[in-house]
């Protein structure tokens, strides 16, 4: 669909509040634009109902081109909720266009993870094995039911996640946890995060062969708190002092 300065607000800004809209800024004289156009059209058609594609002729709509600082074409901008959320310039190859759209349009697994119930999480992992944001909540559901072995198997498929490593370490520790570690895990489960972290760090000096597992548990909790957490920053300093 061709969009002009008169229809841009409704066709792009307002429409993007309902679903993502990809805008292809192009011109008739632009060879790379003619190469990219069919690639974009095919990729968007494969995601029918999840994303829309519109085209803006930069020669005929120079104010729009200036507003969005188009300096080279083809220029592709993705809008969501009325704002640009992703963009690229140039005639990218089909695989790169596919990746661009995949990041913009939630996958089936994304929707299932957002749904969050056990059946949805299991289905998400069938579609994308090793997905941390599905494996972690499902593992916690299993742990609450006492299914430690199944939870451990789920987490073993996850790579590159401090939170998953921490939960795996906790499962291993719980098999022979002393009273202090049990208190720490109960505090974490009850939402007493600071107390749970403190108990874990305090357990490090007397932990003979389990120091690394305890460290992983703490690091996993801090990872979930996020880099901007004051509690996490303070706990990292305490953890470093206890370890070194």
What's residue 105's pLDDT?
85
Confidence of residue 209 (pLDDT cuts 50, 70, 90): confident
CA distance 94 to 38: 10
Element (H, E) at 86: strand 83-89
Residues in a beta bridge with 87? 77
Looking at the chain, which residues constitute the CATH 1.25.40 domain(s)? 108-243
- CB neighbours (10 Å) of residue 145? 10
Q: What are phi and psi of 79, to 5 degrees?
A: -110, 140
What are 139-182's pLDDT values in tens digits? 999 999 999 999 999 999 999 999 999 999 999 999 888 888 99
In whole angstroms, what is the distance from residue 227 CA to residue 233 CA?
7
3-state secondary structure of 243: helix
pLDDT digits (tens, 9 = 90+) for 11-41: 999 999 999 999 999 999 999 999 999 999 9
The whole-angstrom separation of Cα 34 and Cα 53 is 15
Are the C-beta atoms of 60 and 4 separated by less than 8 Å? yes
Residue 71: the pLDDT is: 92
If pLDDT is split at 50, 70 and 90, which confidence band does 227 have?
Answer: confident
* Confidence at 132, pLDDT banded by 50, 70, 90: very high
Architecture of domain 8-104: 3-Layer(aba) Sandwich (3.40)
pLDDT at position 102 is 87
Instruction: Give 184's contacts (C-beta < 8 A, 6+ positions apart).
Output: 196, 197, 199, 200, 203
Stated pTM of the model: 0.66
CATH 3.40.30.10-classified regions of the chain:
8-104
pLDDT of 243: 87
Q: What is the DSSP string of 143-194?
A: HHTT-HHHHHHHHHT--S-HHHHHHHHHHHHHTT--HHHHHHHHHHHTT-HH
The residues annotated as belonging to the active site are: 30, 33
User: What percent of the chain has a predicted confidence (pLDDT) above 70?
Assistant: 100
Give the span between the Cα atoms of 13 and 16, in whole angstroms: 5
Q: Is residue 167 within 8 Å of 136, Cβ to Cβ? A: yes
Q: Is the pLDDT of residue 193 over 90?
A: yes
Is the pLDDT assigned to residue 108 strictly greater than 90? Answer: no
- 110 pLDDT higher than 90: no
CATH number of the domain at 108-243, please?
1.25.40
Pair 137, 120: CB distance under 8 Å: no
């Amino acid at each position: 669909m061709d969009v002009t300065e008169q229809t841009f607000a409704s066709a792009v800004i307002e429409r993007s509040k309902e679903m993502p809209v990809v805008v292809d800024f192009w011109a008739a004289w632009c060879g790379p634009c003619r190469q990219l156009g069919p690639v974009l059209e095919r990729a968007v058609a494969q995601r029918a109902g999840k994303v829309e594609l519109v085209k803006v002729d930069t020669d005929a709509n120079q104010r729009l081109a200036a507003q969005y600082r188009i300096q080279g074409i083809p220029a592709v901008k993705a809008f969501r909720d009325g704002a640009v959320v992703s963009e690229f310039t140039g005639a990218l190859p089909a695989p790169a266009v596919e990746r661009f759209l995949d990041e913009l349009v939630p996958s089936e697994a994304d929707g299932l993870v957002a749904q969050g119930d056990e059946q949805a999480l299991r289905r998400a992992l069938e579609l994308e094995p090793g997905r941390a944001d599905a494996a972690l909540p499902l593992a916690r559901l299993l742990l609450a039911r006492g299914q430690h072995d199944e939870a451990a198997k789920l987490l073993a498929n996850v790579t590159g996640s401090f939170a998953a490593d921490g939960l795996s370490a906790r499962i291993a520790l719980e098999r022979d946890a002393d009273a202090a570690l049990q208190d720490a895990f109960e505090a974490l489960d009850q939402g007493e995060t600071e107390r749970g972290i403190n108990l874990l760090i305090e357990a490090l000096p007397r932990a003979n062969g389990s120091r690394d597992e305890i460290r992983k548990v703490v690091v996993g909790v801090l990872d979930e708190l996020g880099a901007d957490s004051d509690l996490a920053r303070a706990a990292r300093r305490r953890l470093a002092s206890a370890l070194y």
